[in-house]
Amino acid sequence: MTNILFSCARNEGPFLLEWTVFHRLIGFDRIILFTNDNTDGSDDLLKVLNDRGLIEHHTHSPTEAPQLAAAQTAMQAGMFSEGDWVMWLDLDEFLNIHIGDGKLDDLTQRFDHAGGVALNWRTFGSSGHQTWPGRQIAPDFCMASARQFFVNAQVKTLFRYGPHIESLYVHRPTFNSLEFLEGIGPFIGGDGSPVAEEFYLGKRRSGTPIQKTLAKRRFFKIAQVNHYAVRTPDMYERRKARGLGDRYKGDTTVRHDDEYFARNDRNNFEDTSILRYLPRLNVELEKLIQDPEIASALSKIT
């Protein structure tokens, strides 16, 4: 059994090292990362991280939606094994565990009877920054939305892999049938109790049944996913230029516009819970930054 973090990215160079080190620190054994069409100079860093064993980097040139293509490729190539714990997090998402020592094992051991754990977003704003300060996990980057903000109804799911999994999507897996519940166990919400029945019937996104009870249940009790949806205005411009990972090439759909930024730049409450990891994170990052190859690769990112 392995703890696997899966993701698909494009032109995410400024965030790669911190995101990778953070999730290795909390207990992911493998980080499988697919990228396509990078133009920001991040390929050198990805190669070094792959050579150091910190990630498993795969490049692809999808003719369909990149996220869909990456997930299908990974499953067909047998990158996951039955019993593995798997989670899909984007480069703007950090798993923030509130129980125990804040490690992945604290979740998987507590819920070893479960098929998975569905954890809500908490949307973070720019904290007043106009330009990117260079780090995401920092004391001056802790302003967030109210927990009841409707966007936080969305979840990211840590789940056991097996034959019952039909497909992967960024928010949750979909299932071949519901019969697996008898042998795998229920999915648990962020408050530690079983999710609503509608969750199992959902496809792709899964917030609707959770949104109905967002204000009534303590969905952030055991863990949350810190979602830095807009970061800062300059980095948001990069996000707009990257395009949408769930869309085919040539799709002109616009999601990340000024309205999206205004809606998600939420700086209503301070949430410093992720700073519990900061001392260890700083130590590990400093070690890697002293590596000449990593330092050289970082200098090439634009």
Report whether pLDDT(180) > 70. Answer: no
- Helix 43-51 / helix 13-26 crossing angle, nearest 10 deg: 20
| Rg of the Cα atoms in the chain | 18
The whole-angstrom separation of Cα 71 and Cα 54 is 20
Mind listing the pLDDT tens digit for each residue in 212-271?
554 456 789 999 999 999 999 999 998 887 765 554 565 555 466 899 999 999 999 999
Mind listing the pLDDT tens digit for each residue in 280-297?
999 999 999 999 999 999
3-299 belongs to CATH 3.90.550: yes
Average pLDDT score over residue span 203-211:
51
pLDDT of residue 208: 43
Mind listing the pLDDT tens digit for each residue in 45-56?
999 999 999 999
CA 160, 165, 167, 173 torsion-angle sign? negative
Residue in the block written with tokens 């996000």 = 239
End-to-end CA distance of the chain: 38
Mind listing the pLDDT tens digit for each residue in 139-174?
999 999 999 898 998 899 999 999 889 999 999 998
Whole-model pTM?
0.93
